Structure 1
């Protein structure tokens, strides 16, 4: 009795992981369509203060960047978002017009290089999402299957709500514990050292980077991560609930 329950729980945990990855992809696309709610986070995180404080100190010759043009700030963020989703095309051409009506490049060479690394990473993540989709569809076939074989029917049943909740609580506890011990910023920085080439700059002070200033990095990334996770959990929850209801009726 214990073994089938354990296998059933284990299979659902793997399915839940594939479902979460799938849902994160959906959440990402929805957020991209809304420019990652930059306008909302711009106000909430008071990014305008970071811009007005640090642009006049810029060490890369970009002190002429308009600090009071909120629409321009959102547009430049959107330009970066669009470019990293197009394999990095156009990053070096992103520009702004200063008060003297002169066209200036928004990004330095190091920033372009870093954002190109981000674009390359997104391409790889895209491939992983499609591979994950195949695994998720395989699990859905299992759960939608109506085979009456004992070896299959005993494990194709989804766990109860309490069993799912117990698994989710354990996962949340693990994530919260990691964030509590190391903190989001430290984990964020560590992942950068692992993911990106060691000889490529990925950390930029506000005084040397319009990119970091416009984003109030890493604060906006923590906010977007929470936003992505919330939407993904809603999507995953709806799919899981629908599947559970189907199994109850079948």
Structure 2
């Protein structure tokens, strides 16, 4: 069984929270756990460990997934916060995930980044982010709606000769969900764009071009939520199987 290391999402102490209100929680969202458990894979949550323990722990993994969640902190990619620091992000989680990403790249491990994980990958490779798409790109479409949440969809464009073109080139509808307010601004080094939003050209997927196509790849959408979609979307499992093939 393939062991897939999943970088933890963090929930920090909140005194008003009735359960573990004074503690920091490391967690995995339920749909993500079910999505990653397909095809004979075993998702393993990577806790927040000291460096030597972390290295030993992740050395047992066959591949790595970076899940969604809170924003990347602006200081992580060398920018000042906008809007009076409205989108502070999670610098502690950033540091934790960048250590895992560093290990994965140095040890030639497969990586699949989803939403925040996709953005984290871009930052790792030297890119930057829009801290809020609709603030910094006022002519863009809405990429996040709190009420619609994972029911908000839009179409994407993919290169027919790319790895995503091979996976989805024959599909009639190239639509994905959209649950993000941040996005890729400056693309990281050695990253090739695989998909963009059809209406405003926001980058929706990329791969790292220093390894086999698709071995290190990220998407802005949430494939783990596709089973909830009321409208047609691309197949969620194809891209995960591609990742697992490298593991």
Is TM > 0.5 for Structure 1 vs Structure 2?
no
Looking at CA atoms only, which structure, 1 or 2, has the larger radius of gyration? 1
In the superposition, the TM-score normalised over structure 1's length comes to 0.28
Say which structure is richer in strand. 2
More helix by share: 1
